[in-house]
Amino acid sequence: MNFYRRIAAFLFLTAISNIANARSHDLLLGQERCETDASQNASKDVSQCYESNFNTLAALPLSKRADAAHTHWSDTYWPNYVGGIAYRWQTKKTPWGLPHPDLLDLHTMSPDELKKLSPAEKFDIYRALKSGQSLDYTLTHTVLRSTDPKEKHWEGICHGWSPASINHPEPLPVSIDVAGVHLEFGSSDIKALLDYYYGVYAYDLREVEQVGSHSRRVDAGDFHLILANQLGKLHRGFVVDIDPTPEIWNQPVVAVDFQYSGQDWGRGKDGSREKVHVTATLHYIKESAPTWQPNISDNIKFEKTHVYQYVIKLDHDGMITGGEWISTPPDFIWTVKPMKFENIPGQPEGDFSALNDLYRPVMNSHL
């Protein structure tokens, strides 16, 4: 949601790569080198970046899934109308008008009272106590200035949750003692901070790769290449705007099931020699209410499916050259390269590098 701040028409790619300079970058997928010019307001031809031979792709398993190391997690999108990550989700209290505890209060409040503060408040408290600086709630106040109870129900930071989910394992709850105060963060408290980092704090530094937009939706041939290569060969997920309406619902994609039928031969006006009808069942992660414990053991219950039907066009060598939609297509598909949690000077929220102290991925746990 709230994704119009920046719609980049860059080359879609999730493989980790080195950025050559601010204007262009070389990206390596398998044996193919892909180049794009960021100054061009057009998507790169993704057929140059992936395996594009239909027979090769069709030989892969029809059901394709992101690998376990990149299992995506569900989260709320921290809607603006409840106060975003300043929302006290455990007591279901919106933040407007609520007092924030001062330093004296922190030493008199019960552990349970501290535990039930919002993710933003607890992060502000932790940073102040760790650094010895004043407790001025810079993150909490910044969030309150950018949210409003009158905002549309779909506006929030799903554009932060989705890339955080595909780039970082689900966080564990964490308990930490700092300056004589015992603080506890639930899994969703840490998720909130991850989501905010990707969706707001470090937004302008994200390296976004995208195909499609509201004005020019994803081509059916490109859609098939992305699904087959990302999930079938690389076993990596991505993000899709699942809602074709003006509302934006960014969802992490974890798997796809393909069905092929109806191969039609004959030369089309565009030079294609063959058409293949495809039914692609996309598996994506839906939103969920905040939780104290990770939901990784129940991730399957947060999966939903959406069925797309389209035709892909092949040339005489069996290479995918394009496609046509039968069902309504998604607006765009995108991803963000993984980010380090660091301080960005000049940001009103303050230093976010303290997130490194709190984020403990579930995959490294012995629980």
Which tens digits make up the pLDDT trace of 180-230?
Answer: 999 999 999 999 999 999 999 999 999 988 888 878 888 999 999 999 999
- Least confidently predicted of 80-84, 212-216, 301-305: 212-216
- CB proximity list for 229: less than 8 A, separation 6 or greater: 29, 50, 51, 57
Mean predicted lDDT score pLDDT of the chain: 83
Average pLDDT over residues 4-12: 31
Whether this prediction's pTM lies above 0.85 is answered by no
pLDDT score at 212: 84
- Percent above pLDDT 90 for the chain: 62
Looking at the chain, list the stretches that DSSP marks H as alpha helix, in order from N- to C-terminal side: 54-58, 103-106, 111-115, 119-131, 138-145, 158-167, 187-196, 220-227, 355-358
State phi, psi for 113 to the nearest 5 degrees. Answer: -65, -40
Kindly report, residue by residue over 229-286, the tens digit of the pLDDT: 999 888 888 999 988 888 888 999 999 999 998 766 555 555 556 889 999 999 999 9
Take residue 336 and report the two structure tokens written for it. 């963000």
Query: Is the pLDDT at 7 greater than 90, yes or no?
Result: no
What local confidence, expressed as pLDDT, does residue 120 receive?
98
pLDDT at 135 over 60: yes
What pLDDT does 244 receive?
81
> Is 2 in contact with 156 (CB distance < 8 Å)?
yes
Largest CA distance in the chain: 79
Among positive and negative, which fits the CA dihedral 84, 217, 220, 247? positive
C-alpha–C-alpha distance, residues 367 and 363, integer Å: 9
Domain range list for the chain: 50-75+219-336, 80-198+341-364
pLDDT at 217: 86
- 213 backbone dihedrals φ, ψ, rounded to 5°: -160, 180
Please give the DSSP secondary-structure letter assigned to residue 82. G
